Amino acid sequence: MLKIDKISKFFFDGGNSIFFNSKKVEAVKNVSIEINTGDTLGIIGESGSGKSTLAKIIAGIHNPTKGDIIFKGKSLLNLSQRQRNNLIQYVFQDPSNSLNPRKTMMQSLLVPTTYLLGLTKDKAYARIKDILKSVSLPLETLNKYPHELSGGQAQRIAIARSLLSKSPLIVLDEPVSALDVIIQEQILLLLKNLKKEFNLSYIFISHDLAVVENFCNKIAVMFHGEFVEIGNTKKIINEPAHEYTKLLINSVP
Ligand SMILES: Nc1ncnc2c1ncn2[C@@H]1O[C@H](COP(=O)(O)OP(=O)(O)OP(=O)(O)O)[C@@H](O)[C@H]1O
Ligand SMILES: [Mg+2]
């Protein structure tokens, strides 16, 4: 379904100053992986290892410095943002940051529905109502502003928004890290059910090995911008090859 082909991303810090040499940050280095339809690929690694940078490249938020992303045989890099959004959606770690504080949920959901799907307002509203049901939120949520929602409700809205376009692949960047444990469980269960209901594939980013073990069929371990190990979940957990993976497994309480 999706082939990530030798992707690298370099940032240049302080590059605007004539007094300082810009420092090159190699956030992602020569990363390759394939995602098949129905996969839930977990990407795990410590803070700063390049997970979000890679996720944003996959979702089209950043451009890679090198490499290509092939979706069903075609490069994504030549497509418009709108075409890419219809194929791959991105859910941010912190739902309160990803929702516009001055917009009601209705306004936040209507724009992507009319823009991405080209639906009339009436049809868009019907679609939003359906999706709201799928994420188990009551209709009155649509009149609320982000500050009137709990973290779990806000993340349900962010997930709902990612479903509106009917994209077959969703990149979930630490979708439960900002939530407390009980709400985490509920959102993970919701994601599992939605995957079945809509035939989705996921890329699931996390630094929590226990969550990834339970949720993902494949794991890629990221360390200093590189994939140091890729394999199916059982194999990675039972026979870790890389020192960093062993460290991760041993640090699970
Ligand atoms: N826009 C940017 N400009 C410059 N450097 C950046 C930018 N975004 C990320 N970086 C750097 O790239 C590296 C990887 O960051 P990234 O956010 O991808 O890590 P991460 O694995 O998602 O970490 P976390 O678990 O904390 O979310 C870090 O060194 C970070 O400082
Ligand atoms: Mg991150």
pLDDT, tens digit, 9 for 90 and up, residues 70-104: 999 999 999 998 899 999 999 988 877 788 999 99
What are the phi and psi torsion angles at 87 (to 5°)?
-100, -40
Residue 90: per-residue pLDDT: 95
The percent of residues in the chain predicted with pLDDT above 70, rounded, is: 96
- Identify whether the C-beta of residue 205 lies closer than 8 Å to the C-beta of residue 222: no
Q: At CA 67, angle to CA 74 and CA 168, rounded to 5? A: 40
Q: Ligand 1, residue 50: give the atom nearest the CA.
A: 18
Spacing, Cα 126 to ligand 2 middle (Å)? 34
Amino acid identity for residue 238 in this structure: N
**Is pLDDT above 90 for 41?**
yes
pLDDT tens column, 128-164: 999 999 999 999 999 999 999 999 999 999 999 999 9
- pLDDT score recorded for residue 93: 83
Can you tell me whether residue 226 is helix, strand or coil? Answer: strand
Which carries the bigger pLDDT value, residue 94 or residue 197?
A: 197
Phi first, then psi, for residue 51 (nearest 5°) are -60, -50
Residue pair 134/192 in contact (Cβ under 8 Å)? The answer is no
Domains, the chain, in order of start with CATH, read: 2-250 (3.40.50.300)
AA letter at 15: G
Q: Which residues line ligand 1 (CB under 6 A)?
A: 11, 13, 25, 27, 45, 47-53, 207
What is the structure's pLDDT at 117?
Answer: 85
CA distance 28 to 19: 27
Average pLDDT score, the chain? 92
Output the pLDDT for position 15. Answer: 56
Q: Is the pLDDT of residue 252 over 90?
A: no
Output the pLDDT for position 97: 76
Best residue for ligand 1 mutational test, from 8, 9, 11, 44 (most atoms within 8 Å of Cβ): 11
> What is the 165 CA–ligand 2 centroid distance (Å)?
24
Task: Name which of 31-45, 171-185, 222-236 the model is least confident about.
Answer: 171-185
